[in-house]
Every structure is written in structure tokens, then in C-alpha cells.
Chain A
Amino acid sequence: SQQGEEDPQALSIQEGENATMNCSYKTSINNLQWYRQNSGRGLVHLILIRSNEREKHSGRLRVTLDTSKKSSSLLITASRAADTASYFCATDAVPNAGNMLTFGGGTRLMVKP
């Protein structure tokens, strides 16, 4: 079973609006990461937030982490058509024998021009 579950599964917004995606997970984690995937190809790392952090920013991206609720959110502000992609959260769980990241099912974001 997947460690992370994204919500919503699909999101459609207009350019300029903000997009918020949520991720819930099941076990304690070392860190949580967000990745982006265009057209079913390779994933690209966006941002990492450690278990002792609550919020992190990178450009138009804002990630929050609530370890008490085992949830994270990814906010994309002032969205652009080029932000259209699938977004996945991935967790580095504790205990973890290696570097395995467990991915959620993803949120498919469509930004309409």
C-alpha cells in the first residue's frame, strides 16, 4: 500500500489562481518531498521539508508539514499554464533500512490559460 495519499486526485484552475494539493501519510518520517511529473515521464524534485520543519518556500511554491496530523500541503501561487503536471509527495519513512522513498498516487493539476 502507498505511504502517501494525495488529495485531490485532479485539480483544474485558471491561470493566476493558487493551487493547493494535500498529502497524507501513515508512518513517522525523516522528511517529505514533492515531485513534479510532466506527461508521464521522469519526475523532477521540487522541494524537501524535514520532519522538524513546519513550512518551506521555494519561489512560487510553499510547503507545509504537520507531523501531528501526518499531512503536508503544496501551494503553488499565481499558477501558470506551464504548471500543468502531476504532483507527487514522497516520504522517507522512519524506520527506513535504506533510501527508499514511498510515493503517493499524485494530483493531476491542469492550469487553463
Chain B
Amino acid sequence: GAGVSQSPSNKVTEKGKDVELRCDPISGHTALYWYRQSLGQGLEFLIYFQGNSAPDKSGLPSDRFSAERTGGSVSTLTIQRTQQEDSAVYLCASSPTRNTIYFGEGSWLTVV
């Protein structure tokens, strides 16, 4: 597709389980971002990948969160031992330049 694709759209998981969220960026975009948005709140930066450089992980809230980007394209955000406070929309975005970034539709995560 032409846009940023995220899966799953919705995920309900039990507390303590691990979850993986996937992001397919726009082809050719070297930069990829993960943001988290809690209900009614702003966007919280999680992690940023740029080409082959080491990712900026400064926004990851705890060591239960990790992300990788394989082959400079698809990215997976993994949350281990999920907690209820992890419930949020996880938004992925990609960018070809320093300017506009393009968002996916997000993955709604609910931890019960």
C-alpha cells in the first residue's frame, strides 16, 4: 500500500502476556518512529530509527519495551509482561526527510 501500515489494528491481551506490534513504513522512507498515545492525551515519543544508525531509544518507558527494524524497513515493537498502564494507541510513522512524517492508523492495545 501507499501509506504506513500497522497491525494488528486492535489487540486485547491479558496482563503479563507479551505483545508484538508491527509497522510497515512507506517504501523508501529511511526514518521510522513509534509514538504512544493514551486516551485523550498527546503523543509520547518511544523510539526512532534512522537508516543504519543506532536507534534513539530515549523514549522507551521501561525495559519491558523494545523495538527492532529489520532490513531498514519493517519494524516490530514488543512489550513484555504487559501491564494495564500499557493500554494505549501505539502509532508508527515514517519520513523521508526532516520535515513531514506520515502516520499509520495505529494499534489499539488493551491490557485486561
B100 and A100 form a contact (CB under 8 A): no
Q: Kindly state the separation between the CA atoms of A40 and B48 in the bound complex, as whole angstroms.
A: 21
Contact A103 B99 (CB under 8 A): no
Q: Once the chains bind, are B48 and A100 in contact (CB under 8 Å)?
A: yes
Say whether B41 contacts A105, CB under 8 Å.
Answer: yes
Q: Confirm or deny: A101 has a beta carbon within 8 angstroms of a beta carbon on chain B.
A: yes
B45 in contact with A100 (CB, 8 Å): yes
A39-67 vs B, Cβ < 8 Å mask (1 yes, 0 no) = 01111110010000000000000000000
Interface size class of B (residues with CB under 8 A): 20 to 34
Bound CA–CA A101/B99 (angstroms): 9
Determine whether the beta carbon of B31 is less than 8 Å from that of A98.
yes
Question: Would A40 and B89 be within 8 Å (CB), given that A30-B98, A45-B100, A99-B101 are in contact?
Answer: yes
A103 to B50, CA, bound (A): 19
Q: Write the chain A residue with the least CB distance to B9.
A: A41
State A49–B41 Cα separation when bound (angstroms): 24
**Min CB distance, B88 to chain A, in Å?**
10
Pick from B4, B35, B93, B98: contact of A92, CB under 8 Å: B98
Q: Number of A interface residues at 8 Å Cβ cutoff, please give it.
A: 26
The closest CB in chain B to the CB of A89 belongs to B42
- Interchain CA distance A43-B33 in the complex, whole Å: 13
Contact between chains at A33 and B100 (CB < 8 Å):
yes
Asked if B98 and A40 sit within 8 Å, CB to CB, the answer is no
Q: Does A2 contact B (CB under 8 A)?
A: yes
- Distance (whole angstroms) from the CB of B37 to the closest CB of chain A: 7
B39 within 8 A of A: yes
A residues in contact (CB < 8 Å) with B? 2, 30-31, 33, 35, 40-45, 48, 88, 90, 92, 97-106, 108
**Apart from A2-B42, A40-B37, what are 11 other A-B pairs with CB-CB below 8 Å?**
A40-B106, A41-B106, A43-B93, A88-B42, A88-B43, A92-B98, A98-B48, A99-B98, A100-B45, A105-B41, A106-B41
